Structure 1
Amino acid sequence: MSYLAIVDLGSNSARMVVEELHDDGTYTELIREKQDTRIAQNMGDDLILKEVPIARTIAALKYFQTKYAGFKPEIRAITTAAVRMAVNQAEFLARVKFETGIEFQVLSGEEEAHYDYLGVMSTLNIDDAVILDTGGASVEIIAVANGKSIADVSLPFGAVSLSERFNLANDINQSDIKLACDSILAQYETLPWLFKNQHKPVILLGGANRSLARMGRTALGIMSVDHFHGFSMTIERVAAIFETIRYMTRLQREHIAGLEVTRADIIISGLLPLLNLMYTINAPRVIFSESGVREGLIAETIKNNG
């Protein structure tokens, strides 16, 4: 028996889990923590990580350490799109290591997509689908056929970056939603393999998509909104939820049942990658996964330790 701590620094939030790894190859989750660090905030076109989000992130990492230190675990710390793209990446990582001792691995877009695939396939029985992981500053799309990854890509837009670029945080001009959709579709059109995956369900990962699951389950009167692994919705239901919230003010969105207040400014932008993907491939439904990069890392660690 041993322990594994995974620290996952995304563009919008930082997450940490502690897993007890058993000798038979199984594992038990002991701790799960999340902090809304939003390291991608105000990066802008210059792609510079700013001081306030950096300080907020380091404080969260120090808090995580107080939670996992007693287990003396193996630590795997990974970070994704915002840090991957930042021109001051090296300075940020050096400061984090100096202040916390944590050494982060910066995942490439391909590595992030690979771990998403591993995480989904380890917990869902899926043969043919398109996986979509919507993060704060990137989206990963993986085409799956007969249970195998046949194509993947990481695109440089996400819930936070779209919200800031197209002014989708507060009270929204509908023309800005169209501009954002045009931008997303232009990037999807560069992926000829994507259009060959017609009528496949979309497997959803990422914070915005988790919010969609919670809103959908709340609307159905399901009490357990935080346990949605395998939960499914038709594209018509997804579209209906989006059509309801796209015309709301930010204050109104902050009071949507099932939506975290801290996501009211990025929920519109966070759902646009999904909406445009659904229509591009004529997806019949979406299926939500609670397993992604972190579970992919766990699966890899267990395999390597075995």
Structure 2
Amino acid sequence: MNYKAVIDAGYNSFRLSLYTVFPNNSFRLTASLKDYVRLGLGVSEGKPIPEENVKRAEITLRKFREFLDKKGIKEVKVLGTSAFRYAQNGPEVSERLSKTIDIPITVLSGEEEGRYSALAVINTLPIDEGVVFDIGGGSLEIAYFSQRKIREIYQFPLGGLRLMDKSPEEIRKEVRIALASLPSSKGVLVGSGGNLRAIAKMDLKLEGVKLNQIHGYTVSYERISKYSKILPSMSISERSQLPGIDTERALTIHSAAIVIKELMEILGKDSIITSAFGLREGVLMESEIDTVEKLREFWLEGLSYQFNVEPLTSSFENVLAETNDIIVATAFYFLQIMKASNFIDPYMACYKVLRELTLPGYRADEINLVTTICAIAKKFKKKYYNKVKKLIDKDTLLIKAKKVKEITDSYELGVRKW
């Protein structure tokens, strides 16, 4: 296996992510270790990182080192973020922790952190223009992009942990002052970071969406506004009882929700697209994938490698050219992979298995629709249609499902039989 590891030594948490890298340089997350070190707790501009925080970090990094040694992982990047940038003793702590993990820590500038996060988002979602933000424990990075290229990057000390002890009004005031000069933007608003992902998971459950896919999941301004009011009024214990929120995340999700709501108002956006990818994945990438078409094919190839199947993207291109329907072509491709993987029922495997994976290159509603079409291509059942009836009418769905069945039956391992 070709493994690469990235350690994100963040303001709030430290996470080791291990990726399997495929021949086309796409990848999947294979293992993840995380500790809420809270390195930046109590740190403000120019003040030192407290010794007790550094000792917690050392304990975590020793565990990470042991894991890497046992797995024989050699290619590792360790990234330091806002706690190292803000603290008066940041360089000394970086050097000390580098010795603990026996790997040099690269302390990123705010611009570098924002660029890597934006790169991961742009390279995993079918988006052309807009704003990407990444809200962490200590900082907020904002990147503007157009024609799938990053244009401008801004960084602010507005993280969830950094603001968690302030009142909602204090947070709102600080955010409004800091972000007042942000330029306007066309296009979408996309967010990354653990607090936003927790909000998206909670929203999925509360809205009754029968899908575990948060990548590309859209949360409306109305819902964010509601959460920004309700979450600060709840105790940590009460927040931790909400779906998708654990005790550690409950400490910071309320302040992050306020920041996100204020950012949406300042930019005039009525919804946020959630990204499951961010800084750690961005450092595995070199540059923006310049078209949505290339983006989708890149990750469809990666899906093939995940299932140990040769890429079948030429057949995907043929079906897309024939039908001019990305949903039909993608459902066909998924079914080809399931058939080649020797699932007894590829239609239900497509539906059940792929709804449980994070699939870059597509939005959550697209994955919902594609996998549902796989199931309906076998047999129409109302319970499947109910999951997508807000996205498509029944007659159109049945037409697409019939087409998928016809094309799937005419191919074997990406080769047309007749």
Instruction: Name the structure 1 match of 2:179.
Output: 188
Shift, 1:95, TM fit: 1.5
Query: What does the per-residue CA deviation read over 1:83-103, in whole Å, with 9 as the maximum and x for residues that have no partner?
Result: 111111122122112323121
Question: Which stretches in structure 2 are left out of the alignment for 5+ residues?
Answer: 290-418
Given residue 211 of structure 1, which amino acid in structure 2 is its aligned partner? A
Asked whether the 8 Å contact 2:84–2:91 carries over to 1, the reply is: no
Query: What does the per-residue CA deviation read over 1:93-134, in whole Å, with 9 as the maximum and x for residues that have no partner?
Result: 221123231210000011011101111111111112211110
Asked whether the 8 Å contact 1:2–1:73 carries over to 2, the reply is: no
Whose strand proportion is higher, 1 or 2?
Answer: 1
Asked whether the 8 Å contact 1:143–1:151 carries over to 2, the reply is: yes
Specify the SS of the correspondent of 1:299.
Answer: coil
Given residue 108 of structure 2, which amino acid in structure 1 is its aligned partner? L
Instruction: Name the structure 1 match of 2:127.
Output: 126
Q: Which residue, 227, 237, 240 being the options, matches 1:241?
A: 227
Shift, 1:228, TM fit: 0.9
Q: Percent identity?
A: 26
Aligned Cα root-mean-square deviation (Å):
2.0
Instruction: Name the structure 2 match of 1:12.
Output: 12
Asked whether the 8 Å contact 1:18–1:68 carries over to 2, the reply is: no
Shift, 1:259, TM fit: 1.1
1:102 aligned to 2:90?
no
**How many residue pairs align between the two structures?**
287
Instruction: Name the structure 2 match of 1:202.
Output: 189
Structure of greater Rg: 2
Instruction: Name the structure 1 match of 2:85.
Output: 84
1:217/1:2 Cα in 2 relative to 1: closer, same or farther (>3 Å)? Answer: same
Given residue 264 of structure 1, which amino acid in structure 2 is its aligned partner? A
Asked whether the 8 Å contact 2:236–2:247 carries over to 1, the reply is: no
Asked whether the 8 Å contact 2:5–2:17 carries over to 1, the reply is: yes
1:277/1:28 Cα in 2 relative to 1: closer, same or farther (>3 Å)? Answer: closer
User: TM-score scaled to structure 1, two decimals?
Assistant: 0.87
Shift, 1:62, TM fit: 1.4
Shift, 1:266, TM fit: 1.4
Question: Which stretches in structure 1 are left out of the alignment for 5+ residues?
Answer: 167-175
Instruction: Name the structure 1 match of 2:141.
Output: 140
Which of 55-64 and 242-251 deviates more? 242-251
How many angstroms apart in 1 are the aligned matches of 2:260 and 2:223?
A: 13
Query: What does the per-residue CA deviation read over 1:186-242, in whole Å, with 9 as the maximum and x for residues that have no partner?
Result: 111133x2xx215x43211112111111111121234655x4111112111221222
Instruction: Name the structure 1 match of 2:198.
Output: 211
Specify the SS of the correspondent of 2:285.
Answer: helix
Query: What does the per-residue CA deviation read over 1:40-97, in whole Å, with 9 as the maximum and x for residues that have no partner?
Result: 1112455211122211111111112222222332111111111111111122122112
Given residue 31 of structure 1, which amino acid in structure 2 is its aligned partner? A
Instruction: Name the structure 2 match of 1:261.
Output: 247
How many angstroms apart in 2 are the aligned matches of 1:81 and 1:223?
A: 36
Stretches (4+) displaced over 6 A:
none
How many angstroms apart in 1 are the aligned matches of 2:44 and 2:25?
A: 43
Asked whether the 8 Å contact 1:142–1:150 carries over to 2, the reply is: yes
Instruction: Name the structure 1 match of 2:400.
Output: none
Whose helix proportion is higher, 1 or 2?
Answer: 2
Specify the SS of the correspondent of 1:298.
Answer: coil
Higher relative contact order (CA 8 A, sep 6+): 1
How many angstroms apart in 1 are the aligned matches of 2:7 and 2:240?
A: 28
How many angstroms apart in 1 are the aligned matches of 2:243 and 2:29?
A: 28
Shift, 1:30, TM fit: 2.1
How many angstroms apart in 2 are the aligned matches of 1:30 and 1:265?
A: 28
